[in-house]
Amino acid sequence: MTLIADLVSLHQVDSQGRALRMRLESAEHFVAVQEKHRVQLVGRLEEMKSQIRQHQATAGNHEAESGSVKNRLETLREQLNQSTNPKQYAAVLNELKLLQTQRDAIDDLTIAQLDKVQESQGKLAEIEKLLTERVKVIEAGQTELKTCKGEVGARLSELDRERTVASQRIPQRDLVIFNRAADLYEGEAMAELVAIDVRLREYVCGACNMELPPEKYAALASNPNVAVTCTSCHRILYMTEVNSSVG
C-alpha cells in the first residue's frame, strides 16, 4: 500500500475511535453536569431549611417576649382595678397603654416571621421537587452511560489496537502531521483534493474549500508516497479514484 492509502486507513480507524470516545465522554459529561446541579440544589435545600429554622426561632422569641408582656399586662390590670390613688391609677394606666402598644408591635413581628416561614416552606417544596426531578435525570443518565460503556467499550479497545497497528505503517514525520491535524479538527485529519476544473488547473480543499495551487495536485498525483497538506487548514490531502483518473 502507498503512504496515502495507509494514511486513509489510519484516518478511518482514528475517526471511528474518536467518535465513539466522544459519545462516551458526552455521556460522562452529562452525568457529571447533572450531579453538579444536584449538589447545588442540595445546598439550596439546606440553606432554605436553615432560613426556616431561623425564622421559626425568631418567631418563638417574639412569642415568648409577647407572653412576658402579657403577664405584665395582667398584673397591671389587677393593680389598676385595686388602685384607689388617682396618681397611681394614672401611672398604671399609662404603663398599661404603653405595654399594650409594645405587645401589638411584638405580635406584628411574630406574624411577619411566621409569614417568612410559610414563604420559605413554599420555596423549600419547589427545591425538593426540582431535586427529585434532577435525581431521576441522573439515574437515567447513569443508565445511558452504563449502556454506552457496554456498547462502546469493547469496540473502542478494538479500534485502539487497529489504530496502533495502522500508525506503525506511517513514518514518524507524517504521523506527527496527521496527529496534529486530527487533534485540531476532532479527527478530521484528512481532506479530499477536489478538482473544480482540471483544464484550468483549479483545485480546492474538500474540507476548508480554499483554493489549492496546481503544484499540490501535481505532487499528490505523481507520488502517493508523499504526504501533501492543504496550504490553508494543513490537513493531509488525498484524491479519490475519480479525481486521480481525471488528472
Above 80 in pLDDT, residue 57?
yes
The overall average pLDDT reported for the chain is 93
Q: Which of 129, 126, 149 is nearest to 31 (CA)?
A: 149
> Which pLDDT score is estimated for 31?
97
Report pLDDT digits (tens) over 194-223: 999 988 999 999 999 999 999 999 999 999
**Residue pair 49/124 in contact by the 8 Å Cβ criterion:** yes
- Please, which pLDDT band fits residue 154 given cuts at 50, 70 and 90? confident
Burial class (CB in 10 A: 0-12, 13-18, 19+), 124: middle
**Higher model confidence: residue 101 or residue 84?**
101
> Which pLDDT score is estimated for 83?
85
- Please, which pLDDT band fits residue 80 given cuts at 50, 70 and 90? confident
> Which pLDDT score is estimated for 241?
63
> Which pLDDT score is estimated for 118?
96
> Which pLDDT score is estimated for 198?
84
Report pLDDT digits (tens) over 47-56: 999 999 999 9
> Which pLDDT score is estimated for 30?
97
Q: Residue 203 contacts by C-beta under 8 Å, 6 or more apart in sequence? A: 193, 194, 195, 196, 211, 212, 213, 214, 216, 217
Mean pLDDT, rounded, for 158-182: 95
- Please, which pLDDT band fits residue 153 given cuts at 50, 70 and 90? confident
Domains of the chain: 3-167 (1.10.287.1490), 188-246 (no CATH)
Mode of pairing for the β-strands spanning 236-238 and 190-197: parallel
Mean pLDDT, rounded, for 124-150: 95
> Which pLDDT score is estimated for 125?
97
Q: Residue 208 contacts by C-beta under 8 Å, 6 or more apart in sequence? A: 191, 230, 232, 233, 235
**Phi/psi at 221 (5° precision):** -70, -30
What is the distance between the alpha carbons of residues 144 and 29, in angstroms, rounded to a whole number?
A: 12
Above 90 in pLDDT, residue 119?
yes
Map residue 205 onto helix, strand or coil. Answer: strand
Above 70 in pLDDT, residue 235?
yes
- 211-212, strands of its sheet edge to edge: 211-212, 202-205, 190-197, 236-238
For residue 202, list its beta bridge partners: 197
**Residue pair 138/35 in contact by the 8 Å Cβ criterion:** yes
What is the distance between the alpha carbons of residues 244 and 247, in angstroms, rounded to a whole number?
A: 5
**Residue pair 169/225 in contact by the 8 Å Cβ criterion:** no
What is the distance between the alpha carbons of residues 130 and 128, in angstroms, rounded to a whole number?
A: 5
> Which pLDDT score is estimated for 243?
54
Above 80 in pLDDT, residue 245?
no
> Which pLDDT score is estimated for 84?
83
Report pLDDT digits (tens) over 17-47: 999 999 999 999 999 999 999 999 999 999 9
- Please, which pLDDT band fits residue 247 given cuts at 50, 70 and 90? very low
